[in-house]
Amino acid sequence: MRILSVFGTRPEAIKMAPIVMALRALPGVESRVCVTGQHRRMLDDTLAIFGVKPDDDLDIMTGDQTLAEISARVLSGLDPIMRSYRPDFVLVQGDTATSTAAALAAFFNKVPVGHVEAGLRTGDLMSPWPEEANRRLTAVVSNRHYAPTDKARRALLAEGYPASSILVTGNTVIDALLHVADEVTAPGPVRDRLGARFDWLDAGKRMILVTGHRRESFGDGFIRICTALRELAKRDGVQIVYPVHLNPNVRQPVFDYLANVPAISLIEPQDYRSFVYLMTRASLILTDSGGVQEEAPALGKPVLVMRDTSERMEAVEAGVARLVSTDPARIVGHVSDLLDDPRRYAAMAGGANPFGDGRATARIVADLLERAGVAPLHVPARPKPAIAVAAEA
Ligand code: UD1
Ligand code: UDP
């Protein structure tokens, strides 16, 4: 069985890495990896952490690229690979321009598509933009829908996809996180190295970790987020750490507004291991990221989502995330509430992670083998039940 995995951005690489690592160890499976290079540095950093070496690299990234440019380059770059390699299955992940264009390239060549992280919906095509449309477009041309949660499965059923085409797997981000979190939390050289690298973190202060990059927040949204961060930086006993995404539409307002604020450390995007370490050191996380919304609850960290909508409402419903929009007053109000009220903090930090048990990859791989007529694999229990990161009071 020939499986072609296609991805191009940081979050896709993190979420596909466990699958690529599992496929390459399987006899009878030829696994090929094509990266589009929609992200360059942030993709390469992730590939290095997981030891994934692509077979093909379309290397498409340009500065401040448009959605049409990315999509056109992915489609035309993948078409000859589909025709010459003739995979039995193409795997794509999530909702980026890469994943949608790759699914289309497979469809145009009549190659079946497996969609990892299928069925996430806000119901609003403009939020997140363009990701909501990307997910829906990818679903239409997918043969197998790997839904991370039962809520995602129900969304697909409501759109008319047959139950037999949907499998609830959990999110592979939890598989990736477990892989890395064990390393960064266990006493040993990795934790020591990270401790030395981040020796400027003030153990006497509560750290707020921030990320943000959504296209629908460019302009006013980012100015509101920066206004909130400047206000929070005035609190005593707080250190704000913000790895700034490489998108120029993010970097400009963030550096303009926050570069000289003493309690705020603007740093470069971190490799995945370092970022997971920072999450474990944080008191709480402010983000608009999809992946971080999924990871924070698994680490026992309250997460405040700086968006108007989320396709990951499982976390809000489980009480481990709050949707706080980009409104400065709401952001500051919710952060203050959590930092000032140990009971409400503990309730959020102690909630359950709704996004998976670390065995999503095994379920997806077993399903692919079943498609190929190979006996399904037994999905083994993970030896370690959970990540042990103490929640702060
Ligand atoms: C993309 C995805 C978004 C995903 C996000 C994860 C689309 C439409 N958007 O958004 O769904 O949540 O990735 O981070 O697919 N850049 C670099 N180096 C890098 C990465 C980016 O310089 O390693 C800069 C470039 O100027 C590039 C720009 O960022 O043109 C935008 O990258 P792009 O992938 O188009 O958009 P993101 O905002 O990263
Ligand atoms: N991440 C990382 N380094 C950083 C910031 C985030 O490795 O400096 C990881 C994070 O742990 C998560 C993923 O990148 O797994 C999320 O990516 P991003 O926020 O760019 O995209 P989204 O998930 O919103 O699509």
Distance CA 116, CA 136 (A): 13
Judge contact between 277 and 184, C-beta under 8 A.
yes
Q: Indicate whether 258 and 145 sit together in one domain.
A: no
Q: For residue 133, what pLDDT is reported?
A: 98
In a domain, 295, yes or no: yes
Tens digit of each residue's pLDDT (9 = 90 or more) over 230-284: 999 999 999 999 999 999 999 999 999 999 999 999 999 999 999 999 999 999 9
Within-domain flag for 195: no
- Whole-number Å distance between alpha carbons of 334 and 329: 9
Q: Please indicate, yes or no, if residue 193 is contained in any of the structural domains.
A: no
Residue 258 lies in a domain: yes
Residue 164, judged by CB atoms within 10 A of its CB (0-12, 13-18, 19+), counts as exposed
Active site residue 382: no
Q: Are 19 and 39 in contact (CB under 8 A)?
A: no
Residue nearest (by alpha carbon) to ligand 1 atom 25: 63
243 alpha carbon, closest ligand: 2
CATH of the domain at 129: 3.40.50.2000
pLDDT, mean of residues 342-364: 96
Same domain, 28 and 170: yes
For ligand 1, whether the C-beta of 92 sits within 6 Å is no
172 lines ligand 1 (CB under 6 A): no
Q: How many domains does the chain have?
A: 2
Which of the ligands is closest to the CA of residue 222? Answer: 1
Q: Which residue's C-alpha comes closest to atom 3 of ligand 1? A: 96
What's the pLDDT at 289? 97
- Is residue 299 assigned to a domain? yes
Residues 165, 257, single domain; the answer is: no
* 44-61: pLDDT as tens digits: 999 999 999 999 999 999
Assess if residue 185 is contained within a domain. Answer: no
Q: Is the CB of 14 under 6 A from ligand 1?
A: no
Residue 22 has pLDDT above 60, yes or no: yes
Within-domain flag for 367: yes
**Pocket-testing residue among 211, 251, 276, ligand 2, by greatest number of atoms within 8 A of Cβ:** 211
- Any atom of ligand 1 within 6 Å of the Cβ of 40: yes
- If asked whether residues 235 and 130 sit together in one domain, one would say no
At 28, is the pLDDT very low, low, confident or very high (cuts 50, 70, 90)? confident
Is 335 in the same domain as 360? no
User: DSSP assignment, residue 40?
Assistant: S
Higher pLDDT, 392 or 73: 73
Q: Are 85 and 123 in contact (CB under 8 A)?
A: no
Distances (CA, A) of 90 to 40, 82, 104, 143, 361: 22, 9, 10, 10, 15
Give me Rg for the CA atoms of the chain. Answer: 20
Which of 51, 392, 357 shows the shortest CA–CA distance to 209? 392
Answer yes or no: do 313 and 365 share one domain.
no
Res. 393: pLDDT tops 50:
no
The pLDDT value given to residue 186: 93
* Band (374; pLDDT cuts 50, 70, 90): low
- Total-model pTM: 0.96
For residues 125 and 160, state if they share a domain: yes
Provide the percentage of residues in the chain whose pLDDT is more than 90: 92
State the distance from the centre of ligand 1 to the C-alpha of 8, rounded, in angstroms. Answer: 9
Q: What is the mean pLDDT of residues 211-234?
A: 97
> Collapsing DSSP states into helix, strand and coil, what is residue 5?
strand
* pLDDT reported for residue 27: 85
Q: Which domain holds residue 102?
A: 2-176+356-391
Residue 343: both structure tokens together: 């009971």
3-state SS, residue 99: helix
Of 223, 107, 115, 236, the residue nearest 169 (C-alpha): 115
- What percent of the chain shows pLDDT beyond 70? 95
What was the pLDDT predicted at 391?
42
The H-assigned helical ranges of 111-158 are 131-140, 150-158
Whether residues 168 and 44 share a domain: the answer is yes
Task: Assess whether the C-beta atom of 64 lies below 6 angstroms from ligand 1.
Answer: yes
Question: Does the residue 321 lie in any domain?
Answer: yes
Residues 259 and 329 in one domain: yes
How far apart are the CA of 278 and the centre of ligand 2, in A?
12
**128 & 246 share domain:** no
274 and 306 housed in the same domain: yes
- If asked whether residues 328 and 379 sit together in one domain, one would say no
